[in-house]
Chain A
Amino acid sequence: MNRTSIYAGIFVAIAAVLGAVLSPYDTGLLTQMLIYGIFAMSLDLLLGYTGMPSLGHAAYFGLSGYAAAILTLKLGWGFALAAPAGLLVAVVAAALFHLLALRTAHSYYLMITLAFSQVLWSVAVSWTELTGGDNGLPGVKRPDLGAWLPWSFATTRGFFYFVLIIFVVAAFALYIFVKSPFGYALRGIRDNEMRMRALGYNVWAYKFTVAMVSAFFAGLAGELYMYLNSFISPSSLSVTVSAQVLMMILVGSVGTLFGPVLGAGIFVLLQYVLSTYTDRWLFVIGLIYVGVALYAPEGAFGLIRDRMRTKRSARP
């Protein structure tokens, strides 16, 4: 047992206990935290590990949610078909988009990802017959996996444990991914792309692959979010969502897998606390963005980690 798996075990145990004792509303918040946690980890794969600054990550989040909802509502597909199909749509979209987007880097990549997500947003708003326009698509029932999981997802608590299982599996998979030689190659590309190229790495293929992996997990989070609310609307594709997830990473600390999860938790909590006290949510969130940009150089996870390191090294 290494340190990481001990921490992970403690985290899961706490989450599981909280899910059992909290009120349904708070359990809903906890579910949101886990979903945003998956979403934030998926973006950190791009931004933190590979150095690709995406400002349109909501594209995959919303796209797979929409795809699953449309397939369920319009074509009557069951969960076992619609959910994987939704993920496939996100991955294929990422692949097609990156055939183009990978011709750019840095600031260009940031702008082209923003444009991509915004195009999808405008399609979701204006293609009313398919997407319901601004009203979105309500009424997608949560799945019933009676054959595999012996509890109902109809209650918030039941769905929470489903999300917790998915979260653990996703986090574990991502952990393996970033610790693999592939993951180290990504960090190499982030730090010195030219050098990786000179060493014979096919940088394009690495970036292309990581974009699809990232889209897969972002899509996973998007679908869970859609099932949590039984609803999806264009706002799930909006730049606000892309910026929120970026925020979570910066708060949590870039280039770590579990910092963004912490960031997601802080963010959901903050949103909840603030929205009960003020209706000028936009103003406050703007202030927070400014504050984080100016004053959080390492993010919360970074701060904690640094403090632990100093303590550890202070010991004789």
Chain B
Amino acid sequence: MTFWIINTLNGLSLAMILFLLAAGLTLIFGLMHIINMAHGSFYLLGGYIAITAIRLTGGFIFGAIVAVIAIAVIGAIIQRLFLARLYKQEMRQALLTLGLLFIVADIAFFTWGGDPLLVPQPPLLQGAVHFWGIVYPLYRVFLIGCGLVIAFCLWAFLERTTLGAIVRAGMDDEEMVRGLGINVPLVFTGIFALGAALAALGGVLGGPLLGMFPGADFEVVLLAFVVVTVGGLGSIRGAFLGSLLVGLVDNFGNAWFPQLSLFTIFVPMVIVLALKPTGLMGRV
């Protein structure tokens, strides 16, 4: 029983990190049809910037805010300078963002080195919680809570605000939204920055568990790709369901068949795609 509870909780905490990445990916894809290979770079840079900021000032929250804002700005710049020029050319966008992934990976390696670095845990959240005779790290509980709150906020933003309605309308019929006099390029930049910020937050919150190291960017973005493929591109609800599925499968897979690591992730993907090619909540 303990095995099940602990692995479920571990799976959930991984799922929350994945959700932060997948939510941005899926929003960006849904609205702009960009497959953002550099999404993992936002995650990696977010984590690294947080590490440096926390080292300099000592505050976890301060570090998180600095990292998230910095990455949101970088994301907005990348969207404006590069991606806006390659509108609806998927291969070129993939190549461009892959190039950015390499550039960021190289910069990160020469700035922060090749050894894994952990984002320091906030002192308040160190320690463990005890329940039913199980001792479980408090930070992971906090992470799960954070993920749920952010998921709720995103859902509320998309479903209950005017801006969210514009984004949803943009996914369905962008030209019509333009025709209604809405500044769609600005919405694009905003959503791209939001997606980047969410990925950076994933790096900051996931950093104490997974650590930042060369290659983490690609590792995590690959999982996020599986999440959005399973969940359905362009759907926040799909990203949430997909994250849960992939997070749990990855955790139990690693517990039962450690040699097969990534292979176990592929299984739910195969099953979902075989039954519903557009993913669980796919729009098209």
- Please list the residues of chain A having a beta carbon within 8 angstroms of any beta carbon in chain B: 47, 53, 55, 100, 103-104, 106-108, 110-112, 114-116, 118-119, 122-123, 126-127, 239, 243, 246-247, 250, 254, 280, 282-283, 285-294
CB–CB A288/B277 < 8 A: no
B218 neighbours in A (Cβ, 8 Å)? 239
CB–CB B100/A290 < 8 A: yes
Q: Assess whether B269 is interfacial by the CB under 8 Å rule.
A: yes
Interface residues of B in 154-203 (CB under 8 A from A): none
CB–CB A243/B95 < 8 A: yes
Question: In the complex, A104 Cα to B277 Cα: how many Å?
Answer: 6
Task: Looking at the assembled complex, report how far the CB atom of A197 sits from the nearest CB atom of chain B, in whole angstroms.
Answer: 16
Question: In the complex, A314 Cα to B154 Cα: how many Å?
Answer: 59
Contact of A123 among B102, B263, B277 (CB under 8 A): B263
Task: Choose the segment among B13-21, B62-70, B103-111, B236-244 that binds chain A (4+ C-beta atoms closer than 8 Å).
Answer: B103-111
A294 neighbours in B (Cβ, 8 Å)? 82, 85-86, 92, 96
Known interface pairs A108-B278, A111-B229; A122-B263 also in contact (CB < 8 Å) = yes
Q: 4 tightest CB-CB pairs across the interface, nearest first?
A: A289-B99, A286-B102, A286-B103, A293-B96
CB–CB B233/A290 < 8 A: no
Task: Looking at the assembled complex, report how far the CB atom of A7 sits from the nearest CB atom of chain B, in whole angstroms.
Answer: 27
Question: In the complex, A283 Cα to B91 Cα: how many Å?
Answer: 20
Question: In the complex, A28 Cα to B109 Cα: how many Å?
Answer: 31
Q: Report which residue of A106, A243, A254, A293 has the largest number of chain B beta carbons within 10 angstroms of its beta carbon.
A: A293
A116 neighbours in B (Cβ, 8 Å)? 266
CB–CB A118/B260 < 8 A: no
Q: Assess whether B259 is interfacial by the CB under 8 Å rule.
A: yes
Question: In the complex, A245 Cα to B55 Cα: how many Å?
Answer: 41
Q: Assess whether B134 is interfacial by the CB under 8 Å rule.
A: no
What residue of chain B has the Cβ atom nearest to residue A297's Cβ?
A: B92
CB–CB A107/B29 < 8 A: yes
Known interface pairs A104-B277, A123-B263, A293-B86; A283-B96 also in contact (CB < 8 Å) = no
CB–CB B91/A289 < 8 A: no
CB–CB A293/B261 < 8 A: no
A250 neighbours in B (Cβ, 8 Å)? 91-92, 95
Task: Looking at the assembled complex, report how far the CB atom of A109 sits from the nearest CB atom of chain B, in whole angstroms.
Answer: 10
Task: Looking at the assembled complex, report how far the CB atom of B240 sits from the nearest CB atom of chain A, in whole angstroms.
Answer: 18
B50 neighbours in A (Cβ, 8 Å)? none
Task: Looking at the assembled complex, report how far the CB atom of B253 sits from the nearest CB atom of chain A, in whole angstroms.
Answer: 12
Question: In the complex, A287 Cα to B100 Cα: how many Å?
Answer: 8
Main secondary structure of the interface of A (DSSP, over half): helix
Q: Assess whether B226 is interfacial by the CB under 8 Å rule.
A: yes
B94 neighbours in A (Cβ, 8 Å)? 53, 55, 110, 246
A–B pairs, 7, beta carbons within 8 Å: A112-B273, A119-B266, A250-B95, A282-B105, A287-B99, A293-B82, A294-B86
Question: In the complex, A100 Cα to B218 Cα: how many Å?
Answer: 24
CB–CB A289/B90 < 8 A: no
Known interface pairs A112-B229, A289-B95; A103-B259 also in contact (CB < 8 Å) = no
CB–CB B92/A293 < 8 A: yes
What residue of chain B has the Cβ atom nearest to residue A101's Cβ?
A: B273
Known interface pairs A243-B98, A292-B95; A126-B260 also in contact (CB < 8 Å) = yes
Question: In the complex, A100 Cα to B29 Cα: how many Å?
Answer: 22
CB–CB A126/B259 < 8 A: yes
CB–CB A103/B263 < 8 A: no
Q: Assess whether B93 is interfacial by the CB under 8 Å rule.
A: yes
Question: In the complex, A122 Cα to B98 Cα: how many Å?
Answer: 20
Q: Assess whether B262 is interfacial by the CB under 8 Å rule.
A: yes
Contact of B93 among A103, A246, A285, A293 (CB under 8 A): A293
A119 neighbours in B (Cβ, 8 Å)? 262-263, 265-266
Task: Looking at the assembled complex, report how far the CB atom of A247 sits from the nearest CB atom of chain B, in whole angstroms.
Answer: 7
CB–CB A100/B225 < 8 A: no
Question: In the complex, A190 Cα to B7 Cα: how many Å?
Answer: 46
Question: In the complex, A118 Cα to B85 Cα: how many Å?
Answer: 30
CB–CB A286/B35 < 8 A: no
Contact of A246 among B91, B104, B269 (CB under 8 A): B91
CB–CB B233/A289 < 8 A: no
Known interface pairs A115-B229, A250-B95, A289-B99; A280-B273 also in contact (CB < 8 Å) = no
CB–CB B233/A108 < 8 A: yes
A55 neighbours in B (Cβ, 8 Å)? 94
CB–CB B91/A107 < 8 A: no
Q: Assess whether B222 is interfacial by the CB under 8 Å rule.
A: yes
What residue of chain A has the Cβ atom nearest to residue B107's Cβ?
A: A283
A107-B233, A282-B102, A286-B102 given; name 4 further pairs at CB < 8 Å. A53-B91, A112-B273, A243-B98, A289-B98
Question: In the complex, A107 Cα to B90 Cα: how many Å?
Answer: 7
B33 neighbours in A (Cβ, 8 Å)? 107
Question: In the complex, A292 Cα to B263 Cα: how many Å?
Answer: 33
Q: Assess whether B6 is interfacial by the CB under 8 Å rule.
A: no
CB–CB A286/B106 < 8 A: yes
What residue of chain A has the Cβ atom nearest to residue B276's Cβ?
A: A103
Q: Report which residue of A55, A250, A282 has the largest number of chain B beta carbons within 10 angstroms of its beta carbon.
A: A282
Q: Assess whether B101 is interfacial by the CB under 8 Å rule.
A: yes
B273 neighbours in A (Cβ, 8 Å)? 100, 103-104, 112
What residue of chain A has the Cβ atom nearest to residue B229's Cβ?
A: A111
Known interface pairs A107-B90, A110-B35, A282-B105; A247-B95 also in contact (CB < 8 Å) = yes
B279 neighbours in A (Cβ, 8 Å)? 108
Task: Looking at the assembled complex, report how far the CB atom of A282 sits from the nearest CB atom of chain B, in whole angstroms.
Answer: 4
B261 neighbours in A (Cβ, 8 Å)? 122, 126
Interface bits B13-48 vs A (CB < 8 Å: 1, else 0): 000000000000000010001010000000000000
Known interface pairs A47-B91, A53-B91, A280-B110; A122-B262 also in contact (CB < 8 Å) = yes
